[in-house]
Amino acid sequence: MLRLGLTFNQQTTVLETTAILATGLFAGGALYISTVEHPARFRMSAESAQRQFQHSYPRAARLQGTLAVVAGGCSLILGVLTRGTKYYVSAAAMLFIPIYTVIAVFPTNNRLLATSSHQLHGTLPQSEAVWPLLRKWGYLHSARLVASFLGLGVLLSAAS
């Protein structure tokens, strides 16, 4: 029990509500990025698309990273308190996201965030380097989208 002056049921309700909200916000943000923002980059010049990524990604990363950790943490605590398997599944899905991002997505992010053209593409023209990186980034990002909707679906089924 978390000693906040709340009953066990109140504590689990607060944790569950927070987990659902954070997971839902993450999933909604990831869906927006995958279906609206990222495809729009392909309607720009390579230079503009990279610049837009450089401005939007750090902001989105702070928000999405925080939401993933809050959602995963609340789900994990719920799993411990209630011994509910569904909460552990949701926690695993949401805590997978920051780990996956660091291991799998950061190398592509770092190249897209590079300000030096040599860091980005070496000897290739910018457009030949940016487009494959953006396509790869979109593919890598889709795993985060799937994980977040998995986490949300499991949480919602646990809450009902």
* Residue range 64-82, pLDDT digits in tens: 999 999 999 999 999 999 9
**DSSP labels for 131-157?**
HHHHHHHHHHHHHHHHHHHHHHHHHHH
- Specify the pLDDT at position 118: 52
Query: Does the pLDDT of residue 135 top 60, yes or no?
Result: yes
Name the residue with higher pLDDT: 17 or 123.
Answer: 17
Nearest of 108, 39, 110, 29 to residue 64 by alpha carbon: 29
In a domain, 104, yes or no: yes
Residue 27 near residue 76, CB atoms below 8 Å: no
Per the model's pLDDT, the better-predicted residue between 7 and 3 turns out to be 7
Token code pair at residue 16 = 């569950």
What is the model's pTM?
0.90
Q: How far is CA 56 from CA 19, 49, 59, 110, 129, in A?
A: 25, 10, 6, 14, 19
Supply the DSSP symbol for 103: I
2 in a domain, yes or no? no
Q: How far is CA 42 from the centre of its chain?
A: 21
Predicted pLDDT of residue 114: 86
* 3 is a domain residue: no
Domain that holds residue 54: 8-159
Kindly state whether residue 117 falls inside one of the protein's structural domains: yes
Domain count, the chain: 1
